[in-house]
């Protein structure tokens, strides 16, 4: 219950961000419309799909040790769905319509282990996920929060055994199960379509639960051309 409580608190925080402004306002208010615009002589598409790669550290509850983590995700809007939602007259402007039109989806891969991704280790968690989130984009920032079910597999730590020669053997068990992945991220844009950021996340399953923080790179498909 406590884990669910934390997820709800984070969701409400990002929900308030999404409700804060109506996306039909213009860029002068630092809130961008779902359309193309010109900024510093370049044409961009606001609320474009984006790709992110993150690396960092996570706390593995099975051993109370620190893991290395990797996350790769593609995050996207279904433009037709967003357009239909934002045009519904039954939704008041600036509130539910604003939030619902910022719905986005994520598909990705998460890895956590006591060794780096390129090293071989018995203890490891692999996750594939597809989920739903909320996003707020401005000229210089991108905020997003996602919740996703996961398919997880790997090997989790069971116990250690000390032998007569004082050597320690660590025993692991392989697993496959389903879990829940939640992530909140903030990106500072170096360019409108390129940025660096930080993400806090949690991955819950019955065998390998981790909580972590990652630094990530943000790539957006917002650039459409230059003004000639």
H or E element that contains 16: helix 2-19
pLDDT at 76: 92
84 CB-near residues (< 8 Å, 6+ apart): none
pLDDT at 87: 55
Nearest residue to 76 (alpha-carbon basis) of 130, 139, 14, 138: 130
pLDDT at 89: 44
Nearest residue to 128 (alpha-carbon basis) of 111, 103, 145, 104: 111
Please state, in angstroms and rounded to a whole number, the distance separating the CA atoms of residues 115 and 117.
Answer: 7
CATH topology of domain 2-226: Porin (2.40.160)
- Exposed / middle / buried, residue 80 (Cβ in 10 Å: 0-12, 13-18, 19+): exposed
pLDDT in tens, 152-184: 999 998 877 777 777 777 888 999 999 999 999
pLDDT at 204: 95
pTM of the model: 0.76
pLDDT in tens, 138-147: 999 999 999 9
CB 37 within 8 A of CB 27: yes
CB 183 within 8 A of CB 72: no
Mean pLDDT, residues 105-123 taken together: 89
pLDDT score of 136 more than 70: yes
Domain residue limits, the chain: 2-226
């Amino acid at each position: 219950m406590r884990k669910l409580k934390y997820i709800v608190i984070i969701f409400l925080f990002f929900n308030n961000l999404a409700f804060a402004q109506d996306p039909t306002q213009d860029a002068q208010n630092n809130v961008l419309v779902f359309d193309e615009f010109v900024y510093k002589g370049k044409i961009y598409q606001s609320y474009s799909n984006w790709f992110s790669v993150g690396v960092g550290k996570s706390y593995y509850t099975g051993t109370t040790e620190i893991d290395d983590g990797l996350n790769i995700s593609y995050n996207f809007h279904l433009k037709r769905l967003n357009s239909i939602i934002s045009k519904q007259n039954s939704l008041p402007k600036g509130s539910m319509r604003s939030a619902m039109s910022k719905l986005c989806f994520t598909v990705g891969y998460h890895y956590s282990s006591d060794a780096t991704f390129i090293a071989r280790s018995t203890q490891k968690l692999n996750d594939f996920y597809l989920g739903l989130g909320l996003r707020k984009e401005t000229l210089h920032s991108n905020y997003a929060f996602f919740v996703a079910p996961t398919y997880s597999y790997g090997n989790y730590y069971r116990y250690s055994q000390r032998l007569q020669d004082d050597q320690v053997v660590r025993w692991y068990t392989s697993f496959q199960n389903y879990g829940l992945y939640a992530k909140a991220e903030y990106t500072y844009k170096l360019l409108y379509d390129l940025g660096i950021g930080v993400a806090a996340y949690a991955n819950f399953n019955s065998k390998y639960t981790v909580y972590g923080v990652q630094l990530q790179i943000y790539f957006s498909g917002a650039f459409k051309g230059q003004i000639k």
